[in-house]
A and B are shown apart, each in its own frame.
Chain A
Amino acid sequence: MHRFANPARFTRLADRVLPFAAAGAVVALGVGFYLALFEAPADYQQGESVRIMYVHVPSAWMAMFIYVAIAVASAVALIWRHPLADLAAKASSPVGAGFAFLTLVTGSLWGRPMWGTWWEWDGRLTSMLILFFLYLGHMALLNAFEDSQRGYRAAAILALVGVVNIPIIKFSVDWWSTLHQPASVMRLDGPTIHPSMLWPLLIVAVGFKLYYLTIALLRIKSELIAARLRALDLATVKAAEVQGQTARG
């Protein structure tokens, strides 16, 4: 695994994957949104506003998926001290926060015509809000220390403690019977949603995953470049110091 701790090797691999991930994301999101907006039928009860679902549900999946990914990366970073895992966790949390925010906003927009309220303190909405705050805490803790290594370590521990909340979010719709509808895709007895609606949903979900992969790889790459720049700066300063000393001495 430490083979990929080498920045040059990682960058080469990332450069090879990136075009496919980016192109895949564009194609999947294009096809997915086309199917969702034009081909999928309007819901017999919810009408056209059901199309919000094709953004709302995949971003909710992504918000939870990315938090689990951060927790896994954090565990790897803490156990094997793998430097790329730290960077992966750092690269992921703003993306996850973005998806959590998108879930909350689209949920609110959907809730207004469906439930007649922008916001309802039901289990799933509340736990998604908490997930959003967990992301914010993770980002704040990462940037709170002079020494970036300390920030990585602290944020990794926080991510592992916070992952307890993920099952609560996942099952909240089954445990609390409030306004939110129960799970209809990820069920043991198979999805209860018609294929004409399921397919666009899954394609958009794949598109979001590829988008996340693209962004994460780009952000890790830029972190590596930033680290190299810092090292160069430090070397220049040190060289100038040495020169000054020899000139004086």
Chain B
Amino acid sequence: MRGLALIVARDLRLALRQSADAWLAVLFFVLTAALFPFGVGPEPNLLARIAPGIIWVVALLAVLLSLERLFLADFEDGSLEQLLLSPLPLELAVLGKVLAHWLTTGVPLIAAAPLLAILFNMDLSGLGVLLLAMLLGTPTLSLVGAVGAALTLGARRGGVLIPLLVLPLYVPALIFGVGATDAALLGLTARPHLLLLGAVLLVMLVITPLAGAAALRQAVE
């Protein structure tokens, strides 16, 4: 447990020192969403209706943007090998890295989501469910993304490969995330969607540290 906390603390310190990276994801999130009114027209009702979908898709892309860094710096300067040699199980180390990644990208995205909801004129009665869905969904994005990032370490065109590997696996989180918010906006219960999001998160919490650690082992070998 202490090792996990140490890894999280280290990654958070690194992220704070280079805070430009964390800001970049949020900036991308807001900026890309701001393109939609130009693309589909500024009609308020239309924007309000598609707001949950836009927020989710743009959040997905923002997370994607930050994935390549997840293991690359450690891979290049050799600290990844130290992690492998340390007595801490590698699965736990991956979990620590993912947790730090979520704290530095997922949480800022959740914090920025209300801004977008207001900009898109979304009915604010659905805001609570939107935030809850993102709280359950964004850790899944970090977990699955970590596997993609670990698999492409040392690959040719690694940065281009990550979206191809990761986006198909993001679709369930997207479907249930948008479904929850849409249900809340229509006045239906969002419970089943949120439960499914939670189930996806739990499954990924079990699978992805194992897969991520296996991927890192063969990357360093």
Interface residues of A (CB under 8 A from B): 78, 126, 130, 133-134, 136-137, 140-141, 144-146, 150, 153-154, 157-158, 160-162, 164-165, 168
Contact = CB atoms under 8 A, between A and B. Distances in A.
A122 to B, nearest CB: 12
Given A130-B171, A137-B165, A144-B161, 5 more contacts: A136-B164, A137-B164, A154-B155, A154-B218, A157-B147
Interface stretch (B16-24, B54-62, B206-214): B206-214
B168 interface: yes
A111 B54 CA distance: 28
A126 B155 contact: no
Contact of B218 (A140, A150, A161): A150
Contacts of B157: 144
A161 B147 contact: yes
B2 interface: no
A144 B155 CA distance: 5
B151 interface: yes
Contacts, number: 66
A75 to B, nearest CB: 12
B138 interface: no
B169 interface: yes
Given A130-B168, A162-B169, A144 B218 contact: no
B172 interface: yes
B155 A165 contact: no
Interface residues of B, number: 25
B156 A144 contact: yes
Interface of B: 144, 147, 151-152, 154-158, 161, 164-165, 167-169, 171-172, 203, 207-208, 211, 214-215, 218-219
Contacts of B214: 78, 157
Contacts of B207: 161, 164
A130 B173 CA distance: 13
A133 B154 contact: no
Contacts of A161: 144, 147, 169, 207-208, 211
B152 A157 contact: no
The 4 closest A-B pairs by CB, nearest first: A144-B155, A153-B218, A133-B168, A137-B165
A145 B167 contact: no
B71 to A, nearest CB: 13
Contacts of A158: 147, 151, 165
Given A153-B218, A157-B147, A161-B208, A141 B168 contact: no
Contacts of B203: 164
A229 to B, nearest CB: 22
8 contacts: A150-B219, A154-B152, A154-B218, A157-B215, A157-B218, A161-B144, A161-B207, A162-B169
Given A78-B214, A133-B164, A141 B152 contact: yes
The winner among B144, B157, B164, B165 for most chain A CB atoms within 10 A is: B165
B186 to A, nearest CB: 17
Given A145-B155, A150-B218, A154-B151, A160 B211 contact: yes
A168 B218 contact: no
A141 B171 contact: no
B151 A140 contact: no
B165 A141 contact: yes
A133 B218 contact: no
A154 B151 CA distance: 6
Nearest to A131: B168
A133 B151 CA distance: 17
Contacts of A165: 168-169, 172
A141 B155 contact: yes
A101 to B, nearest CB: 15
A110 to B, nearest CB: 23
Contacts of A150: 154, 218-219
Nearest to B207: A161
B211 A141 contact: no
A127 B142 CA distance: 22
Nearest to B172: A168
B164 A140 contact: yes
Given A144-B156, A144-B158, A146-B156, A157 B151 contact: yes
